[in-house]
Structure 1
Amino acid sequence: MRNPIRSRIALAATAFVLVGGGVVATPVLAQSGGHGKPARDYDAEILAAQKAAKSAAGLEHLGTLNRLCFLPPVNGAPSSSDTTPAYIDDPSKAPAKDTWYADSAQVFDNLYFVGGSIHSAWILKTSDGLILIDSGYQYSAKTLILDGMKRFGFDPKDIKYIVISHAHADHIGGVEVVQKATKGARVVMGAADWDAVKTHPKTFKGQTPNFATGIRVTKKRDLKLGDTTLHIIPTPGHTPGTLSFLFTVHDHGQPLTVAYSGGTALGFQNDKPDPGIANLNQYINSAQTMQKAAVKAGATVLLSNHSEFDNAVTKTRELPSRGFGPNPFVNGATSVDNYFDVVVDCAKADELGLEKTLAGQ
């Protein structure tokens, strides 16, 4: 069953609010909820949350707004199946290169984009080696990451850590390919996602990091390498072990703080109140935790592992014409804060839809 938030009534009313710009539809008065008390008007609350998300999104975060508030949700109900992806055993079944390829690019003095047209990966350069953040799919890792690094004269053997935001194939898939090309780079991942990999050996065939040297993250911690510190913040929700990050980059020598959102889509079970409401609560709490950390750190750059959410590929194409102008990746502190408002407000709208179902409305 589709989530109630996506009902025709809600979407039609929302379309009126959004297309009309500042015009707000007047909600219909709710019927009595018994004992003389008016019933809670969930539709009005849903519309208010969506409007707040739309206002926070502006033009910068439209991809996040559309995915979280208006596109049909992906129901990530737990699965007991353990099946190897077809392209692992038969590379001919991998998607065509032109569906995922993007050029690598230097984004800041010490940060490089080595991702694809949809799924991102990043090289963070330090004074004592490299940190790879996310690894894309198994079938794209050599082309995008290993070959992409060569463009900047980097050697995979200089990768000391591979940090995985969460254990979905589009982010962990290339980890085995990359790790074999290094000199024992250690993989950093949320403890719950390490457990998911271990209990699904077929699902992660050809995509499995080295458990013996792996680093399990259960709480906030700092990963230090040379002159660089990666602040790791557990943000469970998208997956149980999702991690987000704060770190410093330099733009022509000027230090800037990056907030890296480790999991944005509502990729967990959210099609019914139980466990949907609890899952959404966890997701919202994590987003708010990361938001507070980003604001406190003065983050002015918002990055993600999907261009859908941070427009990374579009921005890399704008860089060559930058000249002495602003770096397109610098959002500004208000925009970074607003990103998390979009995430929270859209998730609250979904939560309200489930509460409406639970109330029998």
Structure 2
Amino acid sequence: MQRRARTRIMLLTAALLLAGAGAAATPAFAQSANGHPKPPHPSPSPSRDYDGEILAAQQAAKTAAGLEHLGTLNRVCFLPPVNGAPSDSDVTPGYILDPSKAPAKSTWYADSTQVFDDLYWVGGSIHSAWLLKTSAGLILFDSGYQYSAQTLILDGMKKFGLKPTDIKYIFISHAHADHIGGVQVVQQATGGNARVVMGAADWDAVAAHPKQFLGQTPDFSTGIRVGTKDMDIRLGDTTIHVVPTPGHTPGTNSYIFTVHDYGVPHVVAYSGGTALGFQNDVPNPGIHNLQVYIDSARKMQAEAVASGADVLLSNHSEFDNAYVKSRMMASRGFGPNPFVNGKASVKSYFDVTAECALADQLPLEKMAAQQHH
């Protein structure tokens, strides 16, 4: 791992030196018979120029990032990835059993902000949650941690005269504590009115780890399981297009929906899982895991482009700059909405994630080639 880290640093330095020389293009993704993208690189071979391919992928990601997606570039391309190796551990977080162990409010608090006519940011300085107003009730996207949900979401709603009992759906992008943690707190506050929507694989992960998800468990009896195919869920005049994007977790979902800014419609592409939070330090299963992630990024990119998405949202401010942009709204007036990225920028976001994942996949392919020759 130390050797890999040194290699990443050396490649980053080389990429920065080449920044002014123009982007090194990477091959387009071909489509396989089942519609999923194929890797844009040949099979592992000891004669391939892996270092050159890695550098090209990093350069392509850097070019796509521009100034808008630097946080995503740094996290996915150049910071050491989290090695999410499978584990059967089922341990309750300390702050659940003892609330005094929760992080200080000053480390996660932020004021809630209305960012569109019908969309409210009720997240914290690091992790986001979003509330969408429809003609038939409210939809919550993600729920933060268990210890922050009351303050950020439920208390934050009061600022806009919104009631928890009007929440009809809670969409959980994936079953990690920073996004599913507050679901039980919020669902109870709705009086049982809200149904939780989550990927089937992540529902199964919650069921298999009751201690880990103690105090953070959605109601299974009313839950909606999302399988491997896209689905639409409608509330009043609003449709949420659910796009399964496995990779960050096996059940990660992303979303496409419409919001309005002074009455003008804008389409949101909501990225449900961006960091490489799965096992990626050895060829098996790292190469496969990274390919699943790449395929999902390209799939979501295609759907975002087809829908005309011009707003990129996430559940972490490091990926969509939500915290900074929310602070800008107070002085916005009738000027441009900082949350409207533009269609090209939304498309580029998924170029960044896919190319960065490729840059992590190639060293594993190089390792596999060396092992077999």
Q: Which TM-score band (shorter chain)?
A: over 0.9
Say if 2:137 is the partner of 1:122. Answer: no
| Structure 1 counterpart of 2:110, one-letter code | A
Alignment of 1:27-66 (within 5 A): 39-66=47-74
Say if 2:306 is the partner of 1:322. Answer: no
Say if 2:283 is the partner of 1:270. Answer: no
Match of 2:196 in 1: 187
Cα offset, 1:15, TM superposition: 1.2
Counterpart contact for 1:257–1:301, Cα < 8 Å: yes
Q: Decide which of 16, 19, 44 is 1:18's aligned counterpart.
A: 16
Taking the aligned partners of 1:10 and 1:147, their CA distance within structure 2 comes to 43
Q: Decide which of 93, 108, 127 is 2:116's aligned counterpart.
A: 108
Q: Write out per-residue CA displacement over residues 46-66 of structure 1, whole angstroms, 9 at most, x where no aligned residue.
A: 000000000000000000000
Say if 2:158 is the partner of 1:150. Answer: yes
Match of 1:206 in 2: 215
Q: Any gaps of 5 or more consecutive residues in structure 1? A: 27-36
Say if 2:280 is the partner of 1:282. Answer: no
Moved more, 75-84 or 12-21: 12-21
Counterpart contact for 1:220–1:232, Cα < 8 Å: yes
Say if 2:304 is the partner of 1:294. Answer: yes
Equivalent residues, number: 349
- TM-score, structure 1 normalization: 0.94
Question: Cα RMSD (Å) of the superposition?
Answer: 1.6
Cα offset, 1:109, TM superposition: 0.3
Q: Write out per-residue CA displacement over residues 156-180 of structure 1, whole angstroms, 9 at most, x where no aligned residue.
A: 0000011100000000000000000
Match of 2:88 in 1: 80
Taking the aligned partners of 1:183 and 1:284, their CA distance within structure 2 comes to 39
| Structure 1 counterpart of 2:239, one-letter code | T
Q: Write out per-residue CA displacement over residues 282-312 of structure 1, whole angstroms, 9 at most, x where no aligned residue.
A: 0000111100000000000000000000000
Counterpart contact for 1:104–1:148, Cα < 8 Å: yes
Say if 2:352 is the partner of 1:342. Answer: yes
| Structure 2 counterpart of 1:217, one-letter code | V
Moved more, 269-278 or 38-47: 38-47
Residue aligned with 1:107, SS: strand
Counterpart contact for 1:3–1:271, Cα < 8 Å: no
Counterpart contact for 1:10–1:47, Cα < 8 Å: no
Match of 1:239 in 2: 249
| Structure 2 counterpart of 1:221, one-letter code | M
Counterpart contact for 1:17–1:24, Cα < 8 Å: no
Match of 1:217 in 2: 226
Q: Write out per-residue CA displacement over residues 132-186 of structure 1, whole angstroms, 9 at most, x where no aligned residue.
A: 0000000000000000000000000000011100000000000000000003211
Match of 2:41 in 1: none
Counterpart contact for 2:86–2:279, Cα < 8 Å: yes
Moved more, 182-191 or 237-246: 182-191
Q: Any gaps of 5 or more consecutive residues in structure 2? A: 25-44
Counterpart contact for 1:234–1:242, Cα < 8 Å: yes
Counterpart contact for 2:23–2:63, Cα < 8 Å: no
